[in-house]
């Protein structure tokens, strides 16, 4: 005969089974941490893209920068984040302070917006501010992605990163529009834009500091492990599956032409006016924003590696469209549509794939190294593409990168399959 305590235990077990069954048939729920970090990124990206969009105009028309000086600043902007990514990821892992490290990165970038108001237009001053701003981005990215992955069940990582990237890209869509609206109302009011950008960045910092709770962890991640050591972080490279992911990400990155080059070629081919150029970034971001979540969920269902490689096939389609005898709105629609879909299928999906391989205790360091390898490869690719364009012309450069992307995709598929990376096979 059952006692009262036995009946209570059975009732509790029954409720747990019902709750699990309900969760199995219901739609996946996005963790609170992912939504809040998404809001932080959305607001921060509005702030950042306001500055990114007008900075070339500000430096050239107000600061009187030469193309060489602007090239130096642009190189700093694109390269600094990669250099600081590993430090941010390791510090978050080592001290189990992913939130604090990420908030520090967001805070550094916010302060840099204010420094643009008072820093003047000297090359050294602007270079230092841009370097600090990108260092802030590098510091925050890996700890933020680690919090996303640790708060999400492992079978829903693609969806979670898709939701975050969709919110992040919404900010990238709004920022340029807001900046140009302000310039339309008050031409050359760059300092006002920088000040508004700072205020928005400060709100983003407040969201992560006041509302994000890094102790919220998905059940399948268990309890926090011991703090990571530098030796454990570097030992990741010895793991075959992780090493295969690094090789695949690096190879694909080396064959990736930057958006700026693609859009410059598109502008030249379609003879678009200068005023239309920023709208190309908006069109690309719009497609990415709409498709990021569906692509993430698709990756969870059919395999993240498959979706990522398919995304690079879409980039190959962009190259093919630029080489084809297309023109007008057909070419514009095809390129922007394929490029936005490529980002939706690769950016967050790559981090989800990395999260399924990297152990919890070195999650930030592992994701940081994947991001660093990818960014450095793309930086090399930009230099290579620019050199090919200068020597052989745009069409020849695109053709070379198309051939390189085919080879890189084959390398990625071979190494990922050979190491039997999860979510690919």
How would you class 342 by CB atoms within 10 Å of its CB: exposed for 0-12, middle for 13-18, buried for 19 or more? Answer: buried
Contacts of 209 (CB under 8 A, 6+ apart): 103
- Assess contact for 143 and 101: CB atoms under 8 A: yes
**Backbone φ/ψ region at 43: left (φ over 0), alpha (ψ -120 to 50), beta:** alpha
Q: What is the domain partition of the chain in residue ranges?
A: 31-210, 230-425
Q: Does 230-425 match 31-210 at the fold level?
A: yes
- Domain 31-210 in CATH 1.20.1250.20: yes
Cα–Cα distance for residue pair 269/228, rounded to 1 Å: 51
Which architecture does CATH list for 230-425? Up-down Bundle (1.20)
How would you class 167 by CB atoms within 10 Å of its CB: exposed for 0-12, middle for 13-18, buried for 19 or more? Answer: buried
Query: What b-and-e string marks burial along 127-158, b requiring 16 or more CB atoms within 10 Å of the CB?
Result: bebbbbbbbbbbbbbbbbbbbbbbbbbeebbb
Could you read off the pLDDT tens digit of each residue along the chain, which spans 425 residues?
434 444 444 334 444 434 444 444 445 688 999 999 999 999 999 999 888 777 766 776 677 766 556 556 665 665 666 668 888 888 888 888 999 999 999 999 999 999 988 877 676 787 788 788 888 988 999 899 999 999 999 889 999 999 999 999 999 889 888 887 887 788 777 888 889 999 999 999 999 999 998 776 776 666 555 556 667 767 888 888 899 999 999 999 999 988 878 887 887 788 776 556 667 778 888 899 999 999 999 999 988 888 999 999 999 999 999 999 887 888 999 999 999 999 999 999 999 989 988 888 888 888 988 988 888 888 788 888 888 888 898 899 999 999 999 999 999 999 988 876 554 54
Specify the DSSP element, H or E, that contains 64: none
pTM beyond cutoff 0.85? no
Question: How distant, in Å, are the alpha carbons of 73, 193, 238, 358 from that of 132?
Answer: 12, 19, 32, 29
Q: How far is CA 352 from the centre of its chain?
A: 12
State phi, psi for 197 to the nearest 5 degrees: -60, -45
State phi, psi for 69 to the nearest 5 degrees: -65, -40
């Amino acid at each position: 005969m059952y006692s009262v305590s036995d009946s209570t235990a059975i009732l509790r077990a029954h409720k747990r089974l019902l709750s699990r069954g309900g969760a199995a048939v219901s739609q996946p729920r996005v963790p609170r941490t992912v939504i809040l970090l998404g809001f932080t990124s959305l607001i921060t990206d509005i702030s950042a893209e306001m500055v990114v969009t007008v900075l070339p105009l500000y430096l050239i028309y107000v600061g009187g920068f030469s193309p060489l000086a602007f090239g130096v600043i642009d190189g700093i902007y694109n390269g600094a984040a990669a250099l600081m990514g590993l430090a941010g990821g390791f510090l978050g892992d080592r001290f189990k302070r992913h939130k604090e490290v990420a908030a520090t990165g967001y805070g550094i970038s916010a302060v840099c917006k204010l420094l643009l108001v008072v820093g003047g237009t000297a090359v050294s001053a602007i270079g230092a501010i841009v370097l600090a701003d990108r260092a802030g981005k590098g510091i925050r990215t890996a700890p933020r992605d680690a919090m996303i992955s640790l708060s999400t069940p492992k079978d829903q990582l693609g969806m979670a990163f898709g939701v975050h990237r969709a919110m992040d890209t919404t900010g990238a869509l709004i920022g340029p529009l807001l900046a140009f609206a302000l310039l339309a109302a008050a031409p050359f009011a760059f300092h006002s834009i920088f000040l508004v950008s700072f205020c928005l960045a400060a709100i983003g910092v407040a969201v992560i500091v006041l509302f994000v709770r890094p102790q919220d962890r998905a059940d399948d991640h268990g309890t926090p492990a011991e703090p990571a050591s530098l030796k454990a972080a570097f030992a990741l490279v010895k793991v075959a599956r992780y090493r295969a992911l690094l090789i695949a990400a690096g190879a694909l990155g080396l064959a990736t032409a930057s958006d700026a080059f693609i859009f410059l070629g598109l502008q030249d081919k379609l003879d678009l006016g200068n005023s239309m150029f920023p709208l190309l970034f908006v069109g690309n971001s719009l497609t990415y924003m709409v498709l990021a979540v569906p692509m993430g969920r698709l990756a969870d269902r059919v395999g993240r590696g498959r979706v990522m490689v398919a995304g690079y096939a879409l980039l190959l389609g962009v190259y093919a469209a630029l080489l084809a005898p297309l023109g007008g709105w057909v070419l514009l629609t095809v390129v922007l549509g394929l490029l936005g879909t490529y980002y939706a299928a690769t950016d967050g999906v790559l981090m989800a794939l990395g999260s399924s391989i990297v152990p919890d205790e070195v999650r930030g360091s592992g994701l940081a190294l994947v991001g660093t390898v990818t960014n450095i490869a793309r930086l090399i690719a930009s230099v290579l593409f620019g050199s090919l364009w200068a020597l052989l012309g745009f069409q020849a450069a695109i053709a070379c990168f198309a051939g390189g992307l085919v080879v890189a995709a084959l390398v990625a598929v071979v190494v990922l399959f050979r190491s039997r990376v999860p979510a690919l096979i």
